[in-house]
A = this chain, B = another copy of it.
Amino acid sequence: ETSGGYWYASGEFSMSEHAGTHMDAPIHFARDQASVDKIPLDRLLGPAVVVDARKQAAENRDYRLTREDLRQWEAAYGRVPAGSLLFMLTGWGASWTDQERYFGSSAPTDPATLHFPAFSREAVEFLVVERAIRGIGIDTASVDYGPSRDFPVHQLLNGAGLYALENVAQLDQVPPTGATIIALPLKIRGGSGGPVRIIALLP
C-alpha cells in the first residue's frame, strides 16, 4: 500500500492454535486448567533436558519413550532437575518438509493412519510425579505417538496443569543438560494452545 508518498505493508493472519511449533496449554485436555494466556511467566522458563531417542525411533517409528530410557539418561547426566522442560529428540524434525514421512502416513488428515514416535504415559507420569518437571516437548506432531486413540500423555500432563511443546525445531542443537529454555507462546485469550517461540540459552 502507498499513502501520502510513502510505502507501507500491513496485514492480518489466521491460523490454528495447534499448527507449526506450538504449545498445548493445560486446558487443551483438562477443562479446569490454564488457557495459554494464563500460564505464569516463571513456568515458561527452566532447565533443558534433552533425551536422545533417535536410535530407538529409527528402529521403530511407533516408539514410545520408556521409564528405562529416563533411568539411563539419569545414569549418564544426573537427576532430572525440578522445574525442567524435558524434550524427547526423535530426529523427526529433519523430515518436517516431507509431511508423508513426518506423519508416517500418505493421508495425515486421517488420524487412524498416523505413525510417529512420542512419550509413553509411564515415562511422563514419572517425570510429573517424581521429578516435578514444568513441561515436555518433542520434535514430532504430538507428545502422544501416532497410533494413539485416547491421548493418555495429553490427559495426564494437562490434567496435572502442565503443558506440551510440539513440532519443536533444532532440538539436535541443544545439549542433553545445561541449557536454559525460554518458551513464549502467543497470549490468545482463553486459547487451548498457540504458536510459541522457543529459545535455548546454551551453557
A-to-B contact residues, CB < 8 Å: 4-18, 27-31, 41, 149-151, 154-155, 182, 184-188, 191-195, 197, 199
Contacts and interface: CB of A to CB of B under 8 A. Distances in A.
Contacts of A195: 186-187
B5 A150 contact: yes
Contacts of A187: 195, 197
A31 B2 CA distance: 11
A96 to B, nearest CB: 14
A12 B4 contact: no
6 contacts: A8-B29, A10-B28, A10-B192, A13-B17, A13-B191, A14-B15
A17 B15 CA distance: 13
B4 A188 contact: no
Q: Which 9 A-B pairs have the closest CB atoms?
A: A14-B14, A184-B197, A9-B192, A8-B29, A184-B184, A11-B17, A12-B16, A10-B192, A13-B188
A85 B168 CA distance: 28
